[in-house]
Amino acid sequence: MDVFASLFMFWLVDMAHFDCMHITESCSDLHSNPLGGNTAAYLLLIKYWRRYRSCLAVDEMGETSSVENEFDDWFIESLKIYNNIHEYQLEHPTRVIEWTSEKTICVAGYSSDKNEILELLLPLKLFADDNQGLCAERDFKVVHGGFSDGSIHCLKHIPGTRYIIVAIDYVTSVCCHELSSSNCCFLLRCVVTNDGFNSNLQVWDLGGDDCDVIKRTGVLQRKSASSDKGVKIAPGLTGGPCVLHGSQISDIQLTELASGKPLYSLGKDIPDVLSSLQFVSDSVFLACACNGDLYVVDTRKPSALQNNPVGGREGVNWCMGVKTDLYSSDPSSCSVARLSSACQVVVSDLRDLRAPLCQAQLHVQRKTTSDDFMKVTWAPALDNCLAVSGFDGMVHIYDTASWRPELMEFQPLFIHRGHMMSDNEFDTSSAVVTTHVWHPSRPRTVLSAAVDGSVHVWDWVDKATASC
């Protein structure tokens, strides 16, 4: 840190010779050249620079700086464009937000050493529909918390239970945590050992309702793993608690949580790295490979495997978002959106995954070179809408109803800029959204998190209904 601080001091002295215009230019330079990839140093520098800049602005204008004005503008605008917005600051950033019940979510840290898993109760104000005005409670409550040694990059809740499953980066085994004895919660975790890839599954216990600590209770084995990419996980939809996991198409396996017994394994020699995994019915799941290939697998028919390449589109990395309707067996009710690192979205459904129903080139300016946080999700309670994040500090909402089978550029329905407008000293112009989720039943409520540890809960104003 000290080295960078002193480096920065030199740089500051340098900067002092330029006028204001120069400084602004250097700023944009700085943003496009992140110090040879040393993000920490880059962020630190930016942070110091912004502090310096705001000092400068105050000195020269006597009053408020332009940075502050930008924040104020957004603040005033937010009065009009959001019904509700809540901004929270976690101690450590999260890249997972997972619903564990109607009113609780799980978040977890992804730093390289020690991390926390927190189960948070959403503010009561969000749920007080009739007399929202009388409810002053607008804070998150930490209801359960636990400690994990590794970086958590994937966390899933198993519907109908209190189990959650967690995958930890650079790991090949899977472990299981229990949140509380009456309401269980499992975390899937992976650990690398010196002798190659030793895989196991750990079980954690949170204790009863009288205790708020998550503790580990056991280990499950994960068979083989050959990739150092993180394990992807998906909960089984029905039957006993089970979990689908894999890091490549070839090593996808369904494991029963209670016994650790494998229920199904794909066993096909396809070494493509897995990017997303999701069940669409009791026995059928979709697996999206990083190259954009989409596999439809029926666990009852091990030989049945259908490959659907994305076909001639740009983008090195792909991920998918699936919208399922469990009560409908109509294959057209299951929409799949595939998002590429080149900011293209291809929408198809289960009837034919090869031919796109519609597609779009998104209007996004990438601020990050990493594809780590790419995410696309369908709104569960809003027809044809999907949310995209991971390229910059914003969450974009698109309405696919107007999209066409030909690739065209489309403007978003709504943009959430809040993560770039935070008032703490962390540099917000370099903020990147790490993840987002939709509220399961409120049509326009979204939760999003960013690299600075901010978590926002927001509910935007629909212009169509607002105008009438």
- Which residues contribute to the site for another protein (CB under 8 A)? 72, 75-76, 78-79, 84-91, 114, 116, 120, 123, 131, 133-147, 210-214, 423, 455
The least CB distance from residue 13 to another protein, in Å, is 26
The least CB distance from residue 108 to another protein, in Å, is 14
Task: Kindly calculate the radius of gyration of the chain based on its CA atoms and give it in whole angstroms.
Answer: 23
441-to-99, 156, 333 alpha-carbon distances in Å: 12, 18, 18
User: Would you say 120 or 346 has its CB closer to another protein?
Assistant: 120
The least CB distance from residue 79 to another protein, in Å, is 5
Q: Which residues of 256-270 are buried (b: 16+ CB within 10 A; e: fewer)?
A: bbeebeebbbbeeeb
The least CB distance from residue 387 to another protein, in Å, is 21
Work out the angle at residue 231's Cα, subtended by the Cα atoms of residues 313 and 43, and round it to the nearest 5 degrees.
Answer: 75
User: Would you say 87 or 399 has its CB closer to another protein?
Assistant: 87
Q: Which residue has the tokens 């696919």?
A: 400
Asked if 150 and 168 touch (Cβ cutoff 8 Å), the reply is yes
Which helix or strand (DSSP H or E) is residue 39 part of?
helix 39-61
User: Would you say 141 or 223 has its CB closer to another protein?
Assistant: 141
User: Would you say 183 or 317 has its CB closer to another protein?
Assistant: 183
What is the rounded CA–CA span in Å between residue 223 and residue 96? 25
User: Would you say 216 or 323 has its CB closer to another protein?
Assistant: 216
Asked if 214 and 143 touch (Cβ cutoff 8 Å), the reply is no
Asked if 153 and 95 touch (Cβ cutoff 8 Å), the reply is yes
The least CB distance from residue 283 to another protein, in Å, is 39
Asked if 409 and 361 touch (Cβ cutoff 8 Å), the reply is yes
The least CB distance from residue 429 to another protein, in Å, is 18
The least CB distance from residue 364 to another protein, in Å, is 26
The least CB distance from residue 48 to another protein, in Å, is 19
What is the rounded CA–CA span in Å between residue 335 and residue 350? 7
- Pairing between strand 201-205 and 213-220? antiparallel
Asked if 280 and 334 touch (Cβ cutoff 8 Å), the reply is yes
The least CB distance from residue 97 to another protein, in Å, is 13
Comparing CA positions, the residue from 387, 390, 383, 391 lying closest to residue 412 is 387
Q: Which residues of 379-396 are buried (b: 16+ CB within 10 A; e: fewer)?
A: bbebebbbbbbbbbbbbb
User: Would you say 36 or 62 has its CB closer to another protein?
Assistant: 62
Comparing CA positions, the residue from 128, 235, 120 lying closest to residue 174 is 235
User: Would you say 143 or 191 has its CB closer to another protein?
Assistant: 143
Comparing CA positions, the residue from 395, 399, 353 lying closest to residue 374 is 395
Asked if 455 and 409 touch (Cβ cutoff 8 Å), the reply is no
User: Would you say 74 or 197 has its CB closer to another protein?
Assistant: 74
DSSP label at 419? Answer: G
Asked if 162 and 184 touch (Cβ cutoff 8 Å), the reply is yes
The least CB distance from residue 213 to another protein, in Å, is 5
- What residues have CB less than 8 Å from 17, skipping those under 6 apart? none
User: Would you say 49 or 82 has its CB closer to another protein?
Assistant: 82
The least CB distance from residue 215 to another protein, in Å, is 10
User: Would you say 78 or 265 has its CB closer to another protein?
Assistant: 78
User: Would you say 220 or 421 has its CB closer to another protein?
Assistant: 421
Asked if 384 and 397 touch (Cβ cutoff 8 Å), the reply is no
- Give the neighbor-by-neighbor strand order of the sheet with 274-279: 274-279, 284-289, 294-298, 305-308
The least CB distance from residue 76 to another protein, in Å, is 7
User: Would you say 87 or 325 has its CB closer to another protein?
Assistant: 87
